[in-house]
Amino acid sequence: MSNIRTAAEPTVFEYAALRVVPRVERGEVMNVGVVVYCRALDYLGCRTHLDERRLLALDSSLDLEGVGTALKAVDAICCGGERAGQAAAEAPGARFRWLTAPRSTIVQPGPVHAGLTADPAAELERLLDLLVL
């Protein structure tokens, strides 16, 4: 995560749920994480939670290790630094746009939504609880 800062007044933030799509042909998805970006506070954060039992109920042959690896890659890109590879050189906003770009992989971003917050880190926890847990 980027520096954790808060604002005196609420400011715009954006977020997207991260979801696993075990079998595209069935159209089932399960939220497994959230990515939050706040330009005004230079904040980019993500949190994930993988409920393996629920995912296996959707597809008993699901590659849980592959899903875990994909979620670790999201976390690395979100945090930046050496683990992010080439994305490390990008600003938080560019990394958020990359993480939320539509893709046809097992871990996909949902639509981007916006809101107001004075504390994006607290918003991330709230959204994880609301959308994933």
Rounded to an integer, what distance in angstroms lies between the CA atom of residue 126 and that of residue 133? 10
Please write the tens of the pLDDT for every residue from 86-108.
877 889 999 999 999 998 889 99
Distances (CA, A) of 104 to 20, 26, 72, 84, 100: 11, 14, 18, 21, 12
Rounded to an integer, what distance in angstroms lies between the CA atom of residue 73 and that of residue 65? 12
Please write the tens of the pLDDT for every residue from 26-80.
889 999 999 999 999 999 999 999 999 999 999 999 999 999 999 999 999 998 8
E strand or H helix at 49: none
Domain boundaries, the chain: 11-131
